[in-house]
């Protein structure tokens, strides 16, 4: 009896314990479920927040939003006024005006537009940057008032870029005298019908970049030297010399001097644009450079008689594109002048050379040519025309570059040919390339804009045949070239004889239409 | 012979110490970053703190989180390396990418989500790092260029809170822009 009772007691105890355990387990499971539900709800909340997509930009302070808008052309900045009420007046606080007539109003009156912008913008915010492209029917007196206002009221004008084209009988825009004493200007670019008369004591203590484009007229022959002498820290000069420079100058008042004596100058671009009948004006130019710090020098156009380039020991890159002369000047003398000019570039490391220049140089003598001991990269650009005799000069140039490592061809073909009735571009290449003139350091050759024409094939064939250690020949096809032509070209090229047996071919499809 | 070689070693060490003077920056979430003083001084704000002699152990930057601070330091390091001893460049004036050897690196640097981009703008402003501020602001400007107002609103999630009358008024004010 007792044992049975005890057993029943034990059993009921076990039963209770079991139930208790089950209760605890159930409670634990319920807790876990609740926790999971909570977490899922949290995740849903976060996702909802992300989907809400917060407008961060509008919460930025005014100064940062106007800084962002200062990188936009004015029209884009004005458009932001419609985004929301926060943005309504932000554009008026931007210290930049970037107005391009072509992009703003093709139908509307540009003067009215500029006037409206000028009135609506906050006059208390001085302009840091003022770009104005007014290329048709510009009203110079209105522009003059704008500039006067800008210079006189702005103590922070750093960047001024004017491209102005007026029409007769409007006079050209005369640059206001006070501008020539700006103590804040860093970038100064002018193009178009603008007249320069810098006072003799002009001073631009902070100017680093200057660009004088085509169409500019000078008051007298000293205007340009005065202007250049006023820039003690100039780093970059982009100068276009054209026949319009003479419109105000009387004949025989002396030579137009281009004297650049700027010890800090690092980059120089010189463009000489002269119409055919102006070849006589060559006699009116004096080009004198004294720019020992120059690192990049690009010259395009006609070379005057009186040229003194001085020492350019720090030159790294240069580009040359000489135009040919047709009249009185002997081509042999001209060729010699060009070689002499190139002599001052003796230290250059990379050069862009136009094939048209080579054409001129073929008329020159082959004695006493300059040597380019540091030239490691040579790019030959320009347009190959038929019946033109140019390759011997290229060979000469290659002979003068004993350490050349990279040779680049960036040539276009002028296939319109009146001499050949069946329209084939005759190949006057000959055997222009000889092993002696190809540098023993030449390891890479690039051909850009390859269209598989026989002239191009021939060029590549000759380089491959003569270059003793050419490791890479990279061909970039002219884009939009038929894929069959490309395939055929690749096969042909790979079969060509290579002097350096392990020369690798690389082919590039070419993104940019040349 | 031996003494002269040790003196060479000592002077080299001195040079090393001078060049690698460090400073510690502390982010808002308590993380510390040790950087070369010259790199930290790309920030005009930090430069003034150091020059005023207020930088004792650490420079606290309560407005910048560690995630953003590490990116800012990356930018400063890269640009300090590239600048070397040359003059401050005028790259903010020239949009010519061939003059700036870091253009590619900079382009990759700003390929981040909007949140991060705006945090970088705020940090660059607070730390007064002109190059970084110009780079990030120009990136945002490029996101706006050429887009219609509606497209800009969608890109940045801006809510149009104008009434139809107000909107018409704004359009009329600068009619020429909306043509």
Residue B85 vs residue A1, higher pLDDT: A1
The alpha helices in A134-214, defined as continuous H runs, are 140-153
pLDDT for residue B60 is more than 70: yes
**Radius of gyration of chain A from its Cα atoms, rounded to whole angstroms:** 36
Whether the predicted pLDDT of B53 surpasses 90: no
Give the residue, A423 or A94, on which the prediction is more confident: A94
Does residue A6 or residue A403 have the better pLDDT?
A: A403
Q: How many CA atoms lie within 13 A of A399 on its CB side?
A: 17
Residues of A whose CB is below 8 A from B178: 79, 82
Q: Contact at 8 Å (CB) between A92 and A123? A: no
Instruction: Kindly report the number of other CB atoms within 10 A of residue A355's CB atom.
Output: 22
pLDDT at A327 over 70: no
Higher pLDDT, A149 or B1: A149
Nearest-CA residue of chain A relative to B149? A83
Residue of B nearest to A295 (CA): B99
pLDDT at A415: 60
pLDDT of residue A246: 65
pLDDT, residue A256, reads 67
Q: Of A56 and A169, which is predicted with more confidence?
A: A56
The confidence score (pLDDT) of residue A4 equals: 79
Contact B178 A79 (CB under 8 A): yes
> Given a cut of 80, is residue A154 above it in pLDDT?
no
> So what's the pLDDT on residue A247?
64
User: Cα–Cα distances in Å, from A43 out to A39, A50, A239, B165?
Assistant: 6, 11, 63, 41
Could you give the CA distance from residue B53 to residue B37 in angstroms, rounded to a whole number? Answer: 13
Q: Do residues A272 and A246 lie in contact, with contact meaning Cβ atoms separated by under 8 Å?
A: no
Better-scored residue on pLDDT, A478 or A251 = A478
- Compute the average pLDDT of residues A314-321: 91
pLDDT digits (tens, 9 = 90+) for B2-17: 444 444 444 444 444 4
A194-196 β-sheet, strand order:
A173-174, A194-196, A217-218
- Find, among A388, A310, A312, the residue nearest to A351 by Cα: A312
Read off the DSSP letter of residue A363: T
pLDDT higher at A511 or A360: A360
Distance CA A119, CA A142 (A): 13
The pLDDT of residue A66? 96
Q: With residue B177 as reference, give the H or E element that holds it.
A: helix B175-178
> What pLDDT, in 10s, does the model give residues B132-169?
999 999 999 999 998 999 999 999 999 999 999 999 99
User: Quick one: pLDDT band at residue A511, thresholds 50, 70, 90?
Assistant: low
Residue from B158, B164, B173, B175 to probe the interface with A (highest A Cβ count within 10 Å): B158
Across chain B, what does the average pLDDT equal?
83
Residue A173 in contact with residue A162, Cβ under 8 Å?
A: yes
B73 preceded by a cis bond (ω within 30 of 0): no
Strands B32-36 and B22-26: antiparallel
Q: State the helix-helix crossing angle for A454-466 and A483-495, rounded to 10 degrees.
A: 30
Q: Say if the Cβ atoms of B178 and A81 lie within 8 Å.
A: no
Name the more confident of B115 and A273: B115
What is the mean predicted confidence (pLDDT) over A347-356? Answer: 91
Beta strand residue intervals within A128-232, DSSP E? 129-134, 159-164, 173-174, 187-192, 194-196, 209-212, 217-218
Closest Cα in chain A, distance from residue B177 (Å):
6
- Three-state SS string across A427-496, please? CCCCCCCCHHHCCCCCCEEEEEEECCCHHHHHHHHHHHHHCCCCCEEEEEECCCCCHHHHHHHHHHHHHC
Q: Measured between alpha carbons, how far is residue A436 from residues A412, A432, A444 in Å?
A: 27, 11, 17
Whether residue B90 has pLDDT greater than 50: no
pLDDT per residue over A355-388, tens digit each?
888 888 888 777 788 899 999 999 999 888 755 6
Phi, psi for residue A286 in degrees, rounded to 5: -125, 125
Average pLDDT over residues A427-441: 69
Q: Which of A104-108, A208-212, A266-270, A309-313 has the lowest mean pLDDT?
A: A104-108
Window from A231-240, A242-251, A306-315, B89-98 with minimum mean pLDDT: B89-98
Q: What is the pTM of this model?
A: 0.80
Preferred mutation among A50, A59, A64, A66 to probe B, highest tally of B CBs within 10 A: A64
Q: Which of B114, B159, B176 sits opposite A113 (nearest CB)?
A: B176
| A251 pLDDT higher than 90 | no
Nearest chain A alpha carbon to B92: A71
Contact check, Cβ <8 Å, A80/B177: no
User: What is the C-alpha separation between A244 and A193, in angstroms, rounded?
Assistant: 9
Interface contact flag, B179 A107, Cβ < 8 Å: yes
């Amino acid at each position: 009896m007792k044992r049975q009772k005890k057993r029943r007691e034990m059993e009921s105890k076990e039963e209770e314990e079991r139930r208790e355990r089950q209760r605890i387990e159930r409670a634990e499971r319920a807790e876990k479920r609740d926790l999971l539900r909570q977490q899922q709800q949290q995740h849903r909340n976060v996702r909802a927040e992300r989907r809400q997509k917060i407008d961060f930009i509008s919460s930025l302070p005014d100064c940062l939003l106007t800084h962002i808008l200062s990188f936009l052309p004015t029209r884009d900045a004005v458009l932001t006024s419609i985004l929301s009420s926060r943005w309504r007046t932000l554009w008026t606080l931007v210290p930049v005006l970037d107005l391009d007539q072509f992009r703003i109003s093709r139908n509307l009156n540009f003067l009215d537009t500029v006037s409206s912008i000028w009135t609506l913008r906050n006059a208390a915010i001085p302009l840091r940057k003022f770009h104005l492209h007014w290329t048709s029917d510009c009203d110079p007196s209105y522009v003059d008032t704008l500039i006067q206002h800008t210079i006189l009221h702005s103590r922070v004008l750093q960047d001024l870029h004017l491209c102005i084209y007026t029409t007769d009988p409007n006079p050209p825009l005369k640059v206001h005298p006070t501008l020539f004493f700006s103590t804040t200007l860093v970038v100064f670019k002018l193009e178009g019908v603008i007249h320069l008369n810098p006072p003799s004591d002009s001073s631009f203590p902070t100017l680093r970049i200057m660009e004088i484009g085509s169409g500019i007229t000078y008051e007298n022959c000293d205007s340009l030297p005065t202007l250049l002498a006023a820039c003690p820290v100039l780093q970059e000069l982009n100068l276009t010399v054209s026949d319009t420079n003479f419109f105000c100058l009387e004949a025989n008042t002396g030579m137009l001097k281009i004297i650049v004596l700027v010890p800090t100058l690092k980059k120089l671009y010189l463009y000489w644009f002269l119409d055919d009948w102006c070849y006589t004006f060559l006699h009116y130019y004096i080009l004198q450079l004294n720019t020992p710090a120059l690192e990049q020098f690009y010259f395009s156009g006609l070379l005057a008689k009186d040229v003194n380039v001085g020492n350019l020991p720090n030159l790294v890159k240069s580009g040359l594109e000489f135009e040919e002369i047709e009249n009185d000047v002997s081509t042999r003398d001209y060729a010699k002048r060009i070689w002499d000019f190139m002599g001052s570039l003796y230290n250059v490391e990379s050069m862009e050379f136009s094939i048209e220049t080579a054409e001129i140089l073929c008329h020159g003598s082959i004695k006493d040519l300059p040597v380019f001991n540091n030239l490691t990269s040579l790019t030959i650009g320009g347009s190959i025309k038929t019946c033109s005799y140019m390759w011997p000069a290229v060979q000469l140039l290659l002979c003068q570059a004993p350490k050349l490592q990279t040779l680049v061809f960036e040539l276009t073909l002028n296939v319109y040919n009146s001499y050949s009735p069946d329209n084939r571009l005759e190949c006057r290449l000959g055997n222009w390339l000889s092993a002696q003139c190809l540098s023993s350091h030449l390891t890479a050759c690039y051909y850009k804009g390859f269209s598989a024409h026989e002239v191009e094939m021939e060029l590549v064939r000759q380089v491959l045949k003569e270059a003793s250690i050419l490791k890479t020949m990279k061909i970039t096809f002219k884009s939009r070239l038929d894929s069959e032509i490309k395939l055929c070209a690749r096969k042909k090229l790979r079969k060509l004889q290579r002097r350096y047996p392990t020369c690798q071919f690389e082919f590039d499809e070419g993104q940019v239409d040349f | 012979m031996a003494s002269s070689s040790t003196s060479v070693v000592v002077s080299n060490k001195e040079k090393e110490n001078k060049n690698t003077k460090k400073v510690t920056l502390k982010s808002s979430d308590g993380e510390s970053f040790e950087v070369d003083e010259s790199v930290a001084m790309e920030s005009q704000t930090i430069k003034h703190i150091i020059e005023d002699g207020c930088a004792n152990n650490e420079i606290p930057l309560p407005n910048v989180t560690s995630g953003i601070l590490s990116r800012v330091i990356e930018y400063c390091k890269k640009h300090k390396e590239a600048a070397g001893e040359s003059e401050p460049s005028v790259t903010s004036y020239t949009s010519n990418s061939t003059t700036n050897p870091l253009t590619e690196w900079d382009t990759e640097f700003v390929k981040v989500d909007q949140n991060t981009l705006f945090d970088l703008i705020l940090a660059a402003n607070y730390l007064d790092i002109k190059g970084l501020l110009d780079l990030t602001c120009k990136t945002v400007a490029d996101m706006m260029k050429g887009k219609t107002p509606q497209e800009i609103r969608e890109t940045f999630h801006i809510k149009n809170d104008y009434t139809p009358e107000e909107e018409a008024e704004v359009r009329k004010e600068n009619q020429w822009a909306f043509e």
